[in-house]
Amino acid sequence: MALTTYTDLKTSIANWLNRSDLTTEIAGDFIALAEADFNAKLRIRQMEQIDEITINAETVTVPTGFISVRSLYILSGSTKYNVEYITPANLFKTKGSSTSGLPRVYSIESDDATESFRFAPTPDTSYTGYLQYYKAFNNLSDSVASNYILAAHPAIYLYGSLYHASNFLGGIDPNQTAQWMNMYSMALERCENNDRQDSYGGAPTVQRADVSTDLSFYRRK
């Protein structure tokens, strides 16, 4: 079957596992684990985001879905000032010798609930920052029927979910688990290769012919 929506994906995973009693686990565990996994592994153009942020305090909460920074600069008047990353320990040392002014360095700190930028010097006024960063794909849900990965690389979702399901179930043939893991790895690699080819070859970003939403070819009989 074609995998175009969240519902399609859940149905397909249940069919591949030949299990109709894992509705909660498929959505809450297997798909969620695959999403956490590929968001941690992939760094492709579709994850790149540029946001304008207000820097008016020593700490500023990172954007929703933030993974990592590509670049950060402040535009003050017509002058662009790069803001460089340093470790939290070095930021603490820098703050010890500074008061306030235009932030020139930052670090990233987190607690159980919040991840934030910490700047030095502490802003002496409100500055406009431009943040280029990698953002996680929106997780699928009843209100989010699809995203780029499901639309262009459905095998990542399918085999990633099946691999995590096999670890949960335990009783599946180890060879089957290994096959799903290999297919998942191949799907991730294909996604990264396609991104590199499109980035450096000047090709438009479209769903490629070698990424089919019909996965029956791979189904074991």
The more confidently predicted of residues 70 and 200 is 70
Please check whether residues 23 and 90 belong to one and the same domain.
no
| Helix and strand totals (H; E) in the chain | 7, 10
Please check whether residues 176 and 115 belong to one and the same domain.
no
The more confidently predicted of residues 212 and 126 is 126
Q: How many domains does the chain have?
A: 2
Domain boundary pick from 112, 135, 158: 135
153 within some domain: yes
pLDDT of residue 92: 85
Please check whether residues 188 and 201 belong to one and the same domain.
yes
pLDDT of residue 202: 53
Domain boundary pick from 85, 116, 135: 135
104/20 Cα distance (integer angstroms): 56
Residue 66 has pLDDT above 60, yes or no: yes
Q: Please name the residues in contact with 96: beta carbons below 8 A apart, sequence gap of 6 or more.
A: none
Please check whether residues 187 and 206 belong to one and the same domain.
yes
One-letter identity of residue 4: T
Q: What is the pLDDT of residues 16-52, one digit of tens each?
A: 999 999 999 999 999 999 999 999 999 999 999 999 9
Please check whether residues 149 and 214 belong to one and the same domain.
yes
1 within some domain: no
Domain that holds residue 74: 47-135
Residue 95 has pLDDT above 80, yes or no: no
Among residues 125, 149, 162, 176, which one has the least CA distance to residue 29? 162
30/40 Cα distance (integer angstroms): 16
Domain boundary pick from 111, 135, 159: 135
Which of 61-65, 98-102, 174-178 has the highest average model confidence (pLDDT)? 61-65
186/158 Cα distance (integer angstroms): 12
Q: What is the pLDDT of residues 111-163, one digit of tens each?
A: 877 999 999 999 999 999 999 999 999 999 999 999 999 999 999 999 999 99
Where does residue 38 fall: left (phi above 0), alpha (psi -120 to 50 degrees), or beta otherwise?
alpha
